[in-house]
Structure 1
Amino acid sequence: MQTVKFNELPVSDYILQAVEEMGWENASPIQSQAIPAVLNGRDVIGQAQTGTGKTAAFGIPAIESVDVDHKATQVLILCPTRELALQVKEQMYLLSKYKKGLLVTCIYGGESYERQFRDLKRGAHIVVGTPGRIMDHLDRKTLQLSDLKMMVLDEADEMLNMGFREDIETILSQAPEERQTVLFSATMSKEILSITKRFQNDPHIIKVTREEVTNDNIEQLVFNVRRDAKTEAMCRLIDVHNLKLILVFCNTKSKVDEVAMELQARGHAAEGLHGDLRQGARTQVMNKFRNGNCNILVATDVAARGIDVNDVDAVFNYDVPMDLENYVHRIGRTGRAGKKGMAFTLAPNRDNGKLRDLERYTKVKIEQGKIPTLDDLKEVKRKQFKEKVISHISDQNIDEFADIINEMIDEGHDPDHILTALVKMQIGSLEIGSNFEDDLSDKRKARGERRSEGRRGSRNEQGDDRRGGRRNNKGQGSGEAGMVRLFINLGKKDHVSPNHIVGAIAAESKIPGRVIGQIDMYDKFSFVEVPERDVNRVLSGMKGKTINAREAAIEVAK
């Protein structure tokens, strides 16, 4: 399809100013077809995947249609999840930045009503929300649809999959008959077609085919690795490719928790996102990812709906998706706006059948990748260090440090030895670990040792214990000032309870039980918070001791 620039579309100058500021020049296929149709007042059905730019496809005409002098809700946008609703709201803010007086609000469950009541009372022109909370406001009469001009259903298939059909039909029935209805969906099921037939008037159908969705800028590779080696493989790929912003997809909530904790234990700034998290925690995780405070987000497919973060370097399919269409949704979050992206799938040999199905579905050959060796990692480490040094050589402010080197030479130190010592201090040891297959053997050996030794919980088991537990909502500790979090290699499956932990620490470390803080229990390990002043006393007091007759190993949590 021929590329269309935004300034070739029938949009206002304030829209052009906004998209230019956002760095957009060319409209995507769905935008170039949908924007003129929606601006002409047509009902529209858009079949398009995540990452095709559909928010602007309906958002720009929605903004154009609003009369800012009329303080009433004129556009209603329904989204399946809070995350997508917030994402749509943010993009509507950006697109409407130069249309003075336009009010946009977002209403969804899990947030207090006060702000929502206030925004609706002010006469929000565009309301973005989830079906359940929209229904709630309609029942309370705090949201009025009598002046509605446009109704948008975003990711309608997902809303139906989540059981919102009755709510959607009720909302559509309460909207004025002469309104414009715009529907976007990745698939066109019988349920979707039933809604379009009942609630749309001679809709204009726009379909972005799978071939158009597949991004040539995305390098797609599959790595055949054992299940227990996936995290190791992923960490090596992250290091070798110097990846900065990463999305990791898992099929289950428990796997999200497990992988996020494994990455955290290896020193990565990783967070998990799934439906069991409370709304406050979900919002906090997303803000950390968008702000760069967390560079690896591990998520389920449903929780990741609506995540539209720019500059994602790579997507990891930690699990091959159960639904083939989710593969396209996943990888579409990298390689955007003409930038290069990577999509890595980690699959044991038993998943080869699923991979063949994926290739048939996407009509793309997914090439076999090679896991980086330790020598590869060492070479990358050397190269990065050399580049860092070279960049500092051109710095004009380094002369003041030359005196230090000269003083050391005058004191009799060899210049080569000084340089070597500085390199070692900066780069650290190049002995990163064991060979990949040896690492697998060690894990098999460790499992055998655990079977023979029972559940005594030795120090050698800590790596597997960190992987085995399932994190709860308190998994990051209380964050209370003056408290330090300690890791214990015993958990629920060892028949250890919080009372056992408090009793053992108080008795062996000679500290009052009342000063011991939050305790987080998992299947194979636990965390306990103690006052900073008592950390050394606890570590020395518990060395070689037991908790509920089981050998305990305690260390400061990483």
Structure 2
Amino acid sequence: MTVSFEALGLSPELLKAVEDLGFEEPSPIQILAIPSLLAGRDAVGQAQTGTGKTAAFGLPILEKAVPGRSVQALVLCPTRELAIQVSEELSKLAVHKRAISILPIYGGQPIERQIRALAKGAQVVVGTPGRVIDHLQRGTLRLSDAGIVVLDEADEMLDMGFREDIEAILEQSPADCQKVLFSATMPQPIRELSKRFLREPEMLTIAHKMLTVPAIEQVYYEVRPYQKMDALCRVLDSQGFRKALVFCATKRSVDEVSIHLQQRGYQADGLHGDLNQTQRDRVMSRFRTDGLEILVATDVAARGIDVDDVDAVINYDIPHDIEGYVHRIGRTGRAGREGKAFTFVTVREQYKIREIIRYTKARITQGQLPTLRDVHNIRTSKLLEEVRRTLAEGSLDRWRVLVEEFQNEQFPDGDVPARDISAALLKLLMQRDFGNQDNANEIDALAVEPRRPAGDADGRPKSKVPPRLRRPENESMCRLQVNVGHTHDVTPRALVGAITGESGIPGRSIGAIDIQKHCSVVEVSAELADHVLAVLNKGVFISGVKVSATKDEGSDGPRPRKPFKPGPRRGHPGGKFGKKPRGATSGRKAYEESH
């Protein structure tokens, strides 16, 4: 039975935030947790990152939060990275409850800044155990009015040695405070913790059904989030599907992916819950009658899809649960036809594919994404196969006469043979359909998920770049301006990954990166600058944006790279911070400060 967010009893402000984020229906852990937490019961949930657990406890917290200066909810996270991530996600969910403030507190940030923020008032605090203990000891954080305390990824916090801190925090929370614990696993220390501090907790565990997996070829690719779009295009280009179904997690993702595919020349369209019935019928009619090659959809919208000749299913976003995966891939390989299923998996989602394999007993192999050269070779082979079939069919008299007339008129001396004319026609056909491929044999672009190159005999890494493109010693640097910046959520990693992956230059040939609001300035080796410009302006996408790059007009030309000069270590006499940082007295806190 389908459950909607409206059926979970959430307020209009939170429902609007969920809709803005593009989610159509709650995940299994959200269906279990939200009603239970809204009712005020203590709970133990078994859920991992990526299952929607942040919203599972975040929506009930925000539903109960009211304006005021006191802290009403505390969320404990094992690392500062997760604390920041949870805080940002809660802020997105609270966007229409403007009087509610969410504050992250963690090691590595000046504590004075956090003290001032706590003094101004925050209703929800998301923090790491060591820094929360610091504030409790200083009296800058009080839990006397806290109505709920959540332990996120509790098993990881215990593994990191935070058990004493967690127990101290729970002991200082009110006796009638609601306590919720989320953990990927349920070892004995977690059970002891819940038995000691939680009152008759409700167990929130997803029971998996026995499922039959269709006998289709299944492959998964390990990718980084910002590489998914390029990975999708490479899979589509290398396989040449007549009809493919691409699944995304949210309505927003459906719109973004379908638009990007259209911009790249694919016959694609999107299907999600915001489309009215007339729009849905129009899209489905085009997909059934070969007007569309690629249909991008959410799980909710795809429930009404009944098309027998889908060549492949591509999980652009891996589903939350195993049942969703089986239902998705079951839409290919119908009516006795062959089918394929491809899934993109990020590092943080590796556990999901392992769970799918374990529960379904399916054979899902890890694949290597095709490189640009692979795509070029596959396209060339397919075109030549079409030429072979055309020759076998015969009926070429009309076209042979045209070639002979062209040769006699343009090259009466016979200095250009017919085979050169055939080669020129093939080149024009390839460029028309696939773009200019002249560099495909010269630069073997790295796979979308780059891997560390193996070392040579002297231990130095081997470069995949041809010798003439390698950076010489004492090189000069040139600044390139790229049309993506903070407004596009671009990161230095995305820039470096795209430049090295597409151009084939080594990472050491990239210097300083300055990300601005609407653009970024990247230093590259002056000798390689023209090559990088040419590659970036051939349809490369970074963070979903088609790149255009130019030499930075504000640069005075190539300038030598400054040698790196290491400064004094943190905490070392004469260093920037002088004395040993305050608060880093225990091994746990030192770990938290450095992580």
Normalised TM-score (structure 2): 0.47
Q: Assess, with a 3 A threshold, how the Cα gap between structure 1 residues 382 and 48 changes in structure 2: closer, same or farther.
A: same
- The alpha-carbon distance between structure 1 residues 430 and 117, as it changes in their structure 2 partners (threshold 3 A), is same
Using the alignment, how far apart are the partners of 1:195 and 1:89 within structure 2? 25
Q: Structure 1 regions of 5+ residues with no counterpart? A: 224-233, 244-291, 293-310, 314-330, 347-355, 386-411, 437-443, 468-472, 488-513, 522-558
Shift of 1:7: 1.0
Give the aligned partner of residue 37 of structure 1: 36
Give the corresponding residue for 1:12. 11
- Residue 363 of structure 2, aligned match among 348, 363, 366: 366
Contact 1:3/1:27 (CA < 8 Å) preserved in 2? no
Cα drift, residue 28 of structure 1: 1.7
More helix by share: 1
User: In structure 2, do the counterparts of structure 1 residues 86 and 187 end up closer, same or farther at CA, with 3 Å as the change threshold?
Assistant: same
Pairs within 5 Å for 1:543-554: none
Of the three residues 406, 428, 431, the one matched with 1:420 is 428
Is contact 1:220–1:344 with CA below 8 Å preserved after alignment? no
Task: State the partner residue of 1:241.
Answer: 235
Q: Tell me, in whole angstroms, the C-alpha distance in 2 between the residues paired with 1:149 and 1:40.
A: 12
Q: How many residues align?
A: 349
SS at match of 2:74: strand
Report the residue type matching 2:190 in the other structure: I
The one-letter code of the counterpart of 1:171 is I
What's the C-alpha RMSD, in Å, of the aligned pairs?
Answer: 5.6
Q: Map Cα deviations across residues 34-76 of structure 1 (whole Å, 9 max, x no partner).
A: 11111111101111222221111111111122221x3100100
Decide whether the 8 Å contact of 1:359 with 1:366 is kept in 2: no
Q: Using the alignment, how far apart are the partners of 1:148 and 1:105 within structure 2?
A: 14
TM-superposed CA distance for 1:198, in Å, is 0.8
Q: Distance in 1 between matches of 2:461 and 2:132?
A: 53
Instruction: Give the superposition deviation at 1:153.
Output: 0.6
Question: C-alpha distance in 1, partners of 2:211/2:468?
Answer: 44
Structure-to-structure mapping, 1:520-535, within 5 angstroms: none
Match of 2:174, SS state, is coil
Structure 2: which amino acid aligns with 1:517? Answer: K
Answering whether residue 84 of structure 2 is matched by residue 64 of structure 1, we say: no
Whole-angstrom CA distance in 2 between matches of 1:429 and 1:22: 42
Does the aligned pair in 1 maintain the 2:317–2:344 contact within 8 Å?
Answer: no
2:47/2:184 contact within 8 Å kept = yes
SS in 1 for 2:142: coil
Q: How does 1:332-347 map to 2 (within 5 A)?
A: 334-335=318-319, 342-343=342-343
- Give how far 1:113 is off: 2.7
Q: Cα distance, 1:370 vs. partner? A: 6.6
Structure 2 residue 97 is matched with structure 1 residue 89:
no
Q: Is the 8 A contact 2:42 2:201 kept in 1?
A: yes
Q: Secondary structure at the match of 1:144?
A: coil
2:173 paired residue number: 175
Q: In the TM superposition, what are the counterparts of 1:364-443 in structure 2 within 5 Å? A: 364-368=361-365, 377-378=375-376, 420=428, 423=431, 426-429=435-438, 431-432=440-441
1:75 matched to which residue of 2? Answer: 73
How far, CA to CA, are the matches of 1:419 and 1:332 in structure 2? 33
Distance 1:462 1:107, change over 3 A: farther
| Other-structure match for 1:495 | none
In structure 2, the partner of 1:144 is 142
The residue type paired with residue 64 of structure 1 is E
2:404 is matched with none
> Is the alpha carbon distance of 1:236 and 1:3 closer, same or farther for their aligned partners in structure 2, counting shifts above 3 Å?
closer
Indicate yes or no: 2:547 matched with 1:518: no
Cα deviation for residue 378 of structure 1 reads 1.6
Map of 1:306 onto structure 2: none
Q: Normalised by the size of structure 1, how large is the TM-score?
A: 0.50
Q: What does residue 155 of structure 1 align with?
A: 153
Q: How does 1:80-229 map to 2 (within 5 A)?
A: 80-209=78-207, 221=219
How far the C-alpha of 1:240 sits from its partner, in A, is: 2.8
Match of 2:350 in 1: none
Residues 1:235 and 1:11: Cα distance change in structure 2 (over 3 Å): closer
Deviation per residue, 1:75-122 (Å, 9 max, x gap): 000111222212211221122222241111111112223432222111
CA contact (8 A) 2:130 2:165 kept: yes
* Conserved 8 A contact 1:76-1:151: yes
User: CA separation in 1, counterparts of 2:232 and 2:316?
Assistant: 19
Q: Structure 1 CA distance, aligned partners of 2:92 and 2:461? A: 57
Measure how far apart 1:172 and its partner are: 0.6
8 A Cα contact 1:52 1:213, kept in partner: no
CA deviation after TM superposition for structure 1 residue 515, in Å? 7.0
1:351-402 Cα offsets, whole Å, 9 max, x none, are xxxxx998874443133467659885126667999xxxxxxxxxxxxxxxxx
1:277 is matched with none
Secondary structure in 1 matching 2:78? coil
C-alpha contact (below 8 Å) 1:46/1:184 kept by paired residues: yes
Contact 1:50 1:332 in 2 (8 A): no
For 1:206 and 1:164, the matched residues in 2 are separated by 24
CA distance in 2, matches of 1:55, 1:150: 14
Distance 1:32 1:24 in 2: 13
Note if 1:25 corresponds to 2:14.
no
Equivalent residues of 1:374, 1:432 under 8 A apart: no
**CA positional deviation for 1:428:** 2.8
- What residue is the counterpart of 1:551 in the other structure? none
CA distance in 1, matches of 2:461, 2:16: 66
Mark the CA change 1:435 to 1:171 in structure 2 (over 3 Å): closer, same or farther: closer
**For residues 344 and 88 of structure 1, do their structure 2 counterparts lie closer, same or farther at Cα, with a shift above 3 Å needed?**
closer
**What SS class does the counterpart of residue 24 from structure 1 fall into?**
coil
Letter of the aligned partner of 2:176 in structure 1? E
Instruction: Render the CA deviation track for 1:202-242: whole Å, top value 9, x for unaligned.
Output: 111110135699999x995269xxxxxxxxxx999776316
| Structure 2 unmatched runs, 5+ | 222-227, 238-259, 261-295, 299-314, 329-340, 347-352, 384-409, 412-420, 446-452, 472-499, 502-506, 515-520, 528-558, 567-595
Report if the CA contact (8 A) 1:15-1:60 is conserved: yes
Whether the aligned pair in 2 keeps the contact of 1:33 and 1:206 (CA below 8 Å) is yes
- Listed one character per residue, the Cα deviations across residues 386-419 of structure 1 (whole Å, up to 9, x for unaligned) are xxxxxxxxxxxxxxxxxxxxxxxxxx999x8899
**Residues 94, 204 of structure 1: alpha-carbon distance in 2 compared, 3 angstrom cutoff:** same
Matched-pair identity in %: 38
Q: CA deviation at 1:426?
A: 4.8
Distance change in 2, residues 1:369/1:153 (3 Å)? closer
Change (3 A) 1:422 1:109: same
The SS at the match of 2:108 is coil
The one-letter code of the counterpart of 1:518 is P
